[in-house]
Amino acid sequence: MKENPSRISLILIIVIVFPTLFFSGYELNTLSSNEAVVDSIYASQLKNLTVSVNQYSVDVLTRWADEFDDLSLIDKSGEEDSIFKLLSYHQAVRGVFYNDKRQVSRSFIDSAYQEIYSIDIQTLNHQLLKEDSVINKLEQYINNGYRKIQKLEINDEFASYYLYAIKTKDRQVKTAGLIIDKKAFVTEVLAPKLQSMAQSHFIISVLAGSEVIFSNHQDFTQAGNVRLAESLWLLDNYQIGVQILNDPVEQMIKKRTRSNIIMIIIMDVILLLGAFFIYRSLRQQLKLAQLKSEFISNVSHELKTPLALISMYSETLQMNRIPTEEKKMEYFGVINKEAQRLMRMVTKILNFSKMESGMRTFTFVETDLNDIVHRVIGTYKYHFKNAGFEYSVDYDYELPFISADEEAVADAISNLIDNGIKYSKETKKIEIKTGIRNDKVFVAVKDYGIGIKEKAQKHVFDKFYRVTDGNLALHAKGSGIGLNIVKTVITAHHGNVKLDSKFGEGSTFTLLFPEA
Ligand code: ADP
């Protein structure tokens, strides 16, 4: 089955990316469920706390109701004094009232409190009328020997009102009520209780909206910062909130959550980067495999042409059908030329394969680059003439010596000249120049051929790479290893190759060597 990059990306997505994202999502979900566990611990702690605080409030109010009820049994003369005495004794109780036929018949209200907060008896009467069934129930309870405290629904920011049933001296059943200062109730009655409940394990705060009425935490700005809050049903608009102090479980979970999130992110990044690198490397391998198979077909093609010519000419010679000696010589010449071409091809491929396997060794000697160029040109003179090429060589005779493997450098220059010839069209001209530039000794091979597009320029030194657009580039014979050999040779000489090319105008390849 043919693999292609989109198939690879699909496999990588299925095998790596999906599982990574799925696992991360699952882990993050588990982490948030840990948070939920902590929340539920809070919720149950708070529930217990609220229930017991409410129960305690009811107990206190019932006790106070009992105390005031006892007073209603004493003589009228002493009653008023005793009531006020009791009022001043219980700071949170700011008033008491007695009802007759669903109306306030008598009321005793702390005068200082009345001055500031003006308790409105009218509203109280109005509400009492509405509470008929509640009052009946309270009276029924007291007849059965049980006292219940009932909160009245009166909208008052500072006070709460409670009803309870009493039995008068003449054994009549009536109702009475307590007026409680909510803030004072919290600070004087609930505070010690909350303090003992909280100990050093919790922050417990009583809040009225955003105002902190009480907290066992010294820092009130922290006090409002409770994790969960529940209503105190005996005190309108008051809430009780709780925060576990230095909870080791919560801190452990928080720490674990943080480190788990960091680990998940690091793991995701590593896996996704891994997937990306695998994808890139596979894509390169595929590209290389494709180039290799093209290379094999190109090389076979290149080998076939000289072999066919050699075979044809030698056959003709063997049949002895050539009339003149001169013609015979011409045929021998062709056979020789083609055999040389084959030789060059095979040498090139062997050199490349040696370099690939790291087996090619270089023998460096101090040498004059001009000499090498001169020798290479010598082998091309005949070829240039045959192919109709004009050529020029411009030697710089001041060149310092370079340390080079002469054969390898000659190979590299030959490859450049071969390409110059192969990729030229109308203007058949090759210019070779030696010189020194920025302390580097160079030889440049310039042609006026088809040139190389900018985007292909950075690839031409890659192995097996060939430009495939443009008629000549496509049809010129080649294997895509020539420039790779050049690059490898020059790199082994600690030098570099420079390419200047303009598409349609020609190319200059410059080999630069360090001085010996
Ligand atoms: P090839 O055997 O195909 O010539 P090379 O490695 O020598 O392989 O060159 C790689 C590619 O670079 C060539 O296929 C060609 O497209 C381009 N190229 C190399 N030299 C020249 C040049 N002088 N002018 C234009 N294109 C060139």
Ligand 1 mean position to 480 CA, how many Å?
7
Q: Ligand 1, from 466, 479, 487: best to mutate by most atoms within 8 Å of Cβ?
A: 466
Top pLDDT among 272 and 446 is at 446
| Residue 361 phi, psi (nearest 5) | -105, 150
H or E element at residue 105: strand 103-109
Q: What is the rounded distance in angstroms from the CA atom of residue 113 to the CA atom of residue 96?
A: 13
424 lines ligand 1 (CB under 6 A): no
Single-letter amino acid code for the residue at 318: Q
480 lines ligand 1 (CB under 6 A): yes
Cβ atoms of residues 41 and 243 within 8 Å = no
DSSP secondary structure code for residue 400 in this structure: P
447 lines ligand 1 (CB under 6 A): yes
Per-residue pLDDT of 327-362, as tens digits, reads 999 999 999 989 988 998 898 899 899 988 888 889
Mean pLDDT of the region 35-61: 85
Cβ atoms of residues 97 and 104 within 8 Å = yes
pLDDT computed for residue 475 by the predictor? 67
Interstrand relation of 159-167 and 173-181 (parallel, antiparallel or unpaired) = antiparallel
Minimal-distance CA residue to ligand 1 atom 25: 451
Q: Measured from the CA of 424, which atom of ligand 1 is nearest?
A: 24
450 lines ligand 1 (CB under 6 A): yes
Q: Measured from the CA of 450, which atom of ligand 1 is nearest?
A: 25
Q: Hey, which of 20-24, 33-37, 185-189 has the most confident mean pLDDT?
A: 185-189
Minimal-distance CA residue to ligand 1 atom 7: 482
Minimal-distance CA residue to ligand 1 atom 16: 467
pLDDT computed for residue 66 by the predictor? 86
Ligand 1 mean position to 506 CA, how many Å?
12
pLDDT computed for residue 440 by the predictor? 96
507 lines ligand 1 (CB under 6 A): yes
pLDDT of 75 above 60: no
pLDDT of 1 above 50: no
Cβ atoms of residues 462 and 456 within 8 Å = no
Ligand 1 mean position to 422 CA, how many Å?
8
Minimal-distance CA residue to ligand 1 atom 8: 480
H or E element at residue 173: strand 173-181
Ligand 1 mean position to 254 CA, how many Å?
63
Q: Which domains does the chain have, with CATH numbers?
A: 1-246 (no CATH), 362-514 (3.30.565.10)
Ligand 1 mean position to 416 CA, how many Å?
9
485 lines ligand 1 (CB under 6 A): no
pLDDT computed for residue 117 by the predictor? 79
pTM of the model: 0.58
Top pLDDT among 120 and 311 is at 311
From the number of C-beta atoms within 10 Å of its C-beta (0-12, 13-18, 19+), residue 509 rates as: buried
pLDDT of 76 above 70: no
Per-residue pLDDT of 235-267, as tens digits, reads 888 998 887 776 666 677 778 888 888 998 999
419 lines ligand 1 (CB under 6 A): yes
420 lines ligand 1 (CB under 6 A): yes
Ligand 1 mean position to 373 CA, how many Å?
20
